[in-house]
Amino acid sequence: MIYIILLIFLAIPVVKYDILAKKGGENLWFYSSLVFLILVAGLRYRVGGDTLVYMVEFNAYPKLDELKYFDFETARFNPLWYILNAICRTICDSFTFFQFVHAIILNGTFFWFFRKYCPRYFFSAILVWFVGYWCYLSMEILRESLTICMLLWATDWLLERKYVKFYLMCVLGLFMHYSAIVMFILPLALVFFKTPNWKLQLLLLGVIVVFTLIINLPMVVLNLVSFNENIEAIVDFYFEEGKRNINGILVAFIGYLPVLGVIWLREQNRLKEDEFDFMPIVSCMFIFTGLSFYIGTAERFLYYLVPYFVVCLVNTVYDLIAEHDWRHRHVSAVVTACVVLLLSTSYMDYYFRDRSDVYPNTRSYSIFVPYYSVFNPTVDNKRESYVENLRDFAIMF
């Protein structure tokens, strides 16, 4: 129920300001929305899969005065994660306080990003992000979501080609989560995808698929990371457990079609570039989509590019609507509708995916629903059992 209330609340300014173009009160709606999302995420009680795991380990983390004795070399996670937890534990030794800090960083960063880089329609960007990604980033991949925030903070450096500063942020990201490796390739996108082309995207996607069929990718990657036993074990696990069947490949391809659709729409309608051109960055999504055909875990790298895609999607839809003769462009109208439909389908596939293989009669949304707050500290036995079973064969890197 709380998610529906948030959805309605976030939709009101979209209608008022982005669609009807009303003026006055934008700041009130913006900051109210931000506060509500922070409160819901920060005050949750045992909601989220990884959240439950981190709750168990929280009291074993060092405080600031204990960090000098902490063995970072053999620790399970990356150093910045322990440093952030140490700061929080020193201020207030409560996981709820840590959740609140995490919610402030995450939501504050995304709201700032959308307002700065999607200035015309930031309420719509916030709504799209909330519907598809907010729960997952806020309550599930806690460490990785902080690394994504680091990328967003470095966006100006990336666009302005200040690569020394940008790569320093990339290195810092690695100290929070190994998946930050994806940040290192983004400057190349600005060089190779200056003019995105949907046909080229399909061709390159096919090349990656063929490459993964011909090359023994697991062996290549394992050789590259053999210098670190922990990373090698993680990579080996995900290659073994993340293999997809034909249905999984089809779902991954459908999830990529909205990206292809946005590229096609901007190209065919010759839409002018936005103040911040994210299309070269968005074009990189084919790399991880193609790899996800082979190993489903590669989809996680896509979350780094999602904020940029959301901006491009929102701007594209509104730019098409703003065209005087847009209703006469039947193909564009159909493609736009398909993009939105496929994006919605992709959302639903994640949230409603059957996870009975982990625990009977569960779906992915079970880790988020029902919602309980610290003011109503109720333990959901189904969620607890699901996460406990998931931990038996899952590994967090």
Question: Exposed, middle or buried by CB within 10 Å (0-12, 13-18, 19+), for 21?
Answer: exposed
Q: Six-digit token pair at 292?
A: 């996800």
Residue 256 contacts residue 249 (beta carbons within 8 Å): no
Q: Six-digit token pair at 21?
A: 């173009």
Mean pLDDT of the chain: 83
- For residues 358 and 324, the model is more confident at 358
* pLDDT above 80 (res 211): no
Q: What is the pLDDT of residue 395?
A: 44
Q: Would you give the end-to-end CA distance of the chain in angstroms?
A: 32
Question: How many residues does this entry show for the chain?
Answer: 397
Q: What is the pLDDT of residue 396?
A: 45
CA dihedral 70, 74, 80, 81 (to 10 degrees): -90
- For residues 212 and 231, the model is more confident at 212
Task: State pLDDT tens for residues 20-46.
Answer: 888 888 999 999 999 999 999 999 999
Q: What is the pLDDT of residue 296?
A: 64
Q: What is the pLDDT of residue 87?
A: 95
Q: What is the pLDDT of residue 311?
A: 93
Residue 243's pLDDT band (cuts 50, 70, 90): low
Q: Which is nearest to 158 in space by CA: 359, 33, 308, 27?
A: 308
Write the single-letter amino acid at 113: F
Omega before 377 cis (within 30°)? Answer: no
Task: State pLDDT tens for residues 116-171.
Answer: 999 989 999 999 999 889 999 999 989 999 999 999 999 999 999 999 999 999 99
Segment among 8-12, 47-51, 191-195, 237-241 with least mean pLDDT: 237-241
* pLDDT above 60 (res 220): no
Residue 297 contacts residue 242 (beta carbons within 8 Å): yes
Whole-number percent of the chain with pLDDT over 90: 37
